[in-house]
Structure 1
Amino acid sequence: MSSTQHHLLDLYRAQRLGEPAPPAPGIHDWQVVREWRDHRQFRAALAERPAHGPLRQALARWLRPRPRSTC
C-alpha cells in the first residue's frame, strides 16, 4: 500500500468516525529537517565543536582563500 492509499484510507476512517482529518504525507517534512538541523547544532555546541559541518567549512575556504605569502 502506498502512502497516498494509506492516507486516503485514514481520511475515510476519520470521516466515518467524525474525527479530524490527518495531515497529508509530506506536510511536515521541512519542519522535521529544521528540527534535526537545530538538534545537531545544539549537540555540537554542547560538545564544544563548531556547529557547522565540513561542507560549509570547505565552501568558506574556497570562497575566501588565504593570502599567499610573498617570500
Structure 2
Amino acid sequence: MSITQQYLLDTYRARSLGEPDVPAPGTDDWKVVREWRDERHFRAALAGRPVRRRLRDALARWRRLPT
C-alpha cells in the first residue's frame, strides 16, 4: 500500500467516525527539520560549543570567492 492510499484510507476512516482529518503526507516535514536543527543548536550551546550554521556559512564563503 502506498502512502497516498494509506492517507486516503485514514481520511475516509476519520470522516466516517466523525474525527478530524489526518494531515497529508509531508505536511509537517519542514517543521520536523526545524525542530531537529533547533535541538542541535540548543545542545551545542549547552555544551559550550559554537552554534554553526554549516550551509549558511558555506554559502557565505562561496559568495566571497574572488571572481
Provide the TM-score with structure 2 as the length reference.
0.78
**Aligned positions of 1:1-71 closer than 5 A:** 1-52=1-52, 59=58, 63=64
Q: 1:2 Cα shift?
A: 1.1
| Bigger-Rg structure (1/2) | 1
Q: Deviations over 1:8-29 (max 9, x none)?
A: 0001101111111111010111
Amino acid at match of 1:3: I
Per the normalisation by structure 1, the TM-score is: 0.74
Q: Mind listing any 5+ residue stretches in structure 2 that lack a counterpart?
A: none
Alpha carbon RMSD of aligned pairs, Å?
2.0
Q: Which runs of 5+ in 1 are unaligned?
A: 65-71
Where has structure 1 moved over 4 Å in runs of 4 or more?
A: 53-57
The alignment-based identity, stated in percent, is 65
Measured at CA, do residues 54 and 15 of structure 1 come closer, stay the same or move farther in structure 2, by a change above 3 Å?
Answer: closer
The SS at the match of 2:31 is helix
